[in-house]
Amino acid sequence: MIDTAKSMTVEKYKRFVSTGFLKKVQPIVIDRALGATVWDETGRPYVDLFSGISVVNAGHCRPEVIEAAAAQMRKLVHCNSYIYHNKPAADFAEALASIMPSPDLHVSFFGSSGAEAIEGAMRVAKQFTGRSEFVALEMSFHGRTAGTLSVTGNRNRKKKGGPYLPGVAFAPPPYAYRSPFSGDADSIGRQCAQAVERVIDTGTSGDVAAFIAEPVLGEGGIIVPPRGYFKQVKEVLDKRGILFICDEVQSGFGRTGTMLAIEHYGVVPDIVVTAKGIADGFPLSAFTTRKEIADAFAPGDHLSTFGGNPVSCAAALANLEVFRKERLADGSARKGSAALERLRGIAAKRASIGEVRGLGLMLGVELVSDREAKTPDAASAGKVQDRMLEMGYLVGVGGYHGNVLRLQPPLVIADEDLNRAIDALDEALDAV
Ligand SMILES: Cc1ncc(COP(=O)(O)O)c(C=O)c1O
């Protein structure tokens, strides 16, 4: 039977939606979703292991979030949260401050996308320090605007988009599995932190405003830096008065088993950027910083039309309440470590898996065609993703080499669903 609705939607995508920048759009038409399940237009359910790129952490269409947004929509959808005061923006700014790693970080600027908030953070870092340069990490990803691509360490994302901002230098990523340095993970972390110092001293003019990094590199392939890394880097930065912009866009909101991933590292950044999971699917982003840094902006320096939209802020507030009530970050830690153990068991019996890694429910399975040589196997990652889809599971693929399967389900996923998904992954790896 020809699925007419699906073929019409796919046909319209082909004709009217810009998708030339994608290898392919996944061949399903999603109609509705709840919790960790999405349904296509034929009514077939899929277990969602990707959360719309790590967004719906509290689950799809979370009733409390939807209710809060709907109630707000009936009262006020937009007024511009910078020209006029509104209660949802004020309340959510206060709530967001409460999840920061220090009470000093309590002033937020709101945008609509991760990239917009990163751009704002870069701008305020320049204004505050009076300096213009940045140090970022190779294999990082910070967004698709000109400024955020300038600090993104991935040629595949940047090609034909230049010239980029001058004054950006890149340090090696704290990626123990693939590193120019040798030794155990802690030693590699130390050497990578020393490399940040070297890059500042040799690759910049010394006019560095900020070091920007993701506490867990998401698009780079779920790279989890060794535990001492950020403390060692922060010491280097503090000696030079360089700010640390922590990009929690993907790793934040319980994804790694703590509200913010930087909590694993015991470091207080100068600016924290959040988006994605912030409002369970409603568009919102923020950078949050100390008052004196935020106050470096002078009248006219910054604004956003949709940033801090009352509906998104009402949704975000309800989302945070759900996190607190259901201790979703703790659940992410528990489910993630059980899943990691099972995945490591699967990796032990399979030469096609180079490494399994992750924190909480931010999990990566790196596929290789030669375990000794660590040859990245992007083709197999694509095939496993396709096979998983056929079996009724949505997984992500990423990594600098395109060879990392990404498991980042809604944090509310049922243990049985997660276990069944790992069984399915085992089967899909066999089939490929
Ligand atoms: C770590 C990180 N920073 C920034 C961004 C950009 O966010 P957005 O796509 O909302 O602009 C992303 C998106 O994937 C991300 O993963």
The per-residue pLDDT for range 200-256, each reduced to its tens digit, is 999 999 999 999 999 999 999 999 999 999 999 999 999 999 999 999 999 999 999
The per-residue pLDDT for range 65-121, each reduced to its tens digit, is 999 999 999 999 999 999 999 999 999 999 999 999 999 999 999 999 999 999 999
The whole-angstrom separation of Cα 85 and Cα 68 is 19
Give pTM, 2 decimals: 0.97
The per-residue pLDDT for range 299-345, each reduced to its tens digit, is 999 999 999 999 999 999 999 999 999 999 999 999 999 999 999 99
Q: What distance in angstroms lies between residue 120's CA and the mean position of ligand 1's atoms?
A: 13
The answer to whether 341 and 424 have CB atoms below 8 angstroms apart is no
Token pair recorded at residue 230: 């950020």
The whole-angstrom separation of Cα 300 and Cα 317 is 28
CB-count exposure of residue 184 (10 Å: 0-12, 13-18, 19+): exposed
The DSSP output letter for 122 is H
The per-residue pLDDT for range 160-180, each reduced to its tens digit, is 999 999 999 999 999 999 999
- Measured from the CB, is residue 422 less than 6 Å from ligand 1? no
* Ligand 1 atom closest to residue 113's alpha carbon, by position in its atom list: 10
- Measured from the CB, is residue 48 less than 6 Å from ligand 1? no
Q: Which band of pLDDT confidence, cut at 50, 70 and 90, is reported for residue 5?
A: low
The pLDDT of residue 245: 99
Token pair recorded at residue 37: 């399940």
Go through the chain and tell me how many residues it has.
Answer: 432
First to last CA, the chain: 28
- What is the three-class DSSP state of 355? strand
Helix (H) or strand (E) holding 286: strand 285-289
- Measured from the CB, is residue 219 less than 6 Å from ligand 1? yes
- Measured from the CB, is residue 247 less than 6 Å from ligand 1? yes
The per-residue pLDDT for range 362-382, each reduced to its tens digit, is 999 999 999 999 999 999 999
The whole-angstrom separation of Cα 189 and Cα 174 is 6
Compute and round to an integer the Cα radius of gyration of the chain. Answer: 21
Token pair recorded at residue 359: 């924190």
Strand-pair category, 353-359 with 285-289: unpaired
The per-residue pLDDT for range 394-403, each reduced to its tens digit, is 999 999 999 9
Residue 334 identity? R
Q: Which of 119, 149, 212, 249 to mutate to test the pocket of ligand 1 (most atoms within 8 A of CB)?
A: 249
